[in-house]
Amino acid sequence: VREGHQVVCVDNLITGSRANLAALEGQADFQYVQHDVTQPFGPELDQPVDAVFHLASPASPVGYFRNPLATALVNSVGAHHALELARRRGAKFLLASTSEVYGDPLEHPQREEYWGNVNPVGIRSPYDEGKRFAEALTMIYVREYGVDARIVRIFNCYGPNSDPNDGRIVPNFITQALTGQPITVYGDGGQTRSLCYVSDLVDGLIRALCTPGTAGRVYNLGNPEEHTVLEFAQVIRRLANSTSEIVFHSCARQDDPQRRCPDITRARRELGWSPRVGLEEGLELTIAWMREKLGLGE
């Protein structure tokens, strides 16, 4: 919108918040349509479309554990509807996929060529397998219909406007640290993650869509700086000036990957992209936003 594009946002807000759109609603170049993308699009989208970003889906374990069928459908039927829209309008298409397609990986760091190690019937499968199906569907549309589509696999994005209760480690740990609750670590905290700040991710999405020659390509978008979950808990506690105790739950989450770190060689080479926001800088910005969101003073 800031760059002069007309943007139509289609969302049923199953895990989202209308408040996140407050700064955009009322602007002439922004339109919000409340709609479930698993249902056919209505007359609101009977207009020229240059690009389709399929970002719809619960993305946190809490979200897809509570809504397993909706998660599977938005990544299958919903992806089909979004791809059909792009095909009919001759629009570019970008699928927001996930590092979860790698499951509990046996290759580190994970390259785009790696096929993954996923439990197809586990508790995380509505999301993991849903995204894998959406990727397959996207490539069918590339090969069969010549749709100008690409796939990005997102690794652990975080930042302001996160839901404090969405269950992922950054909002979880920050909320617990700011409110004086014990910071909860599942397992021994030795499992690793790589956190990518939201502004870096958005830059990567736009580059993936707009860079020539990206049709039919798959890109990892994430920060290759790998840390343990325990290290994240300790850094967040320090940056939040918290006295919260770090507690360990011996029962690790089912199918929780032990290591997760992207190889972003392809994104660097083909998109000229790499993350710029450092871990502590991004966490400080997120903590400040969360503090205000929770109504807490300094």
149 contact partners, CB below 8 Å, separation of at least 6: 83, 86, 92, 93, 94, 95, 138, 139, 141, 142, 215, 216
Q: How far apart are CA 86 and CA 294, in angstroms?
A: 39
The per-type count for the chain, helices as H runs and strands as E runs, is 9, 12
Q: Assess contact for 66 and 55: CB atoms under 8 A.
A: no
Q: How far apart are CA 195 and CA 174, in angstroms?
A: 14
User: How far is residue 38 from each of residues 64, 79, 126, 200, 241, measured CA to CA in Å?
Assistant: 16, 8, 15, 29, 44
**Strands 157-158 and 183-186, how do they pair?**
unpaired
Q: Assess contact for 153 and 135: CB atoms under 8 A.
A: no
> In terms of residues, how long is the chain?
298
Q: Assess contact for 33 and 10: CB atoms under 8 A.
A: yes
Q: Is 102 a catalytic residue?
A: no
User: How far is residue 199 from each of residues 60, 158, 268, measured CA to CA in Å?
Assistant: 19, 9, 16
From 127, 141, 158, 219, the catalytic residue: 127
User: How far is residue 153 from each of residues 69, 107, 159, measured CA to CA in Å?
Assistant: 22, 16, 18
Query: Which residues are known to be catalytic?
Result: 127
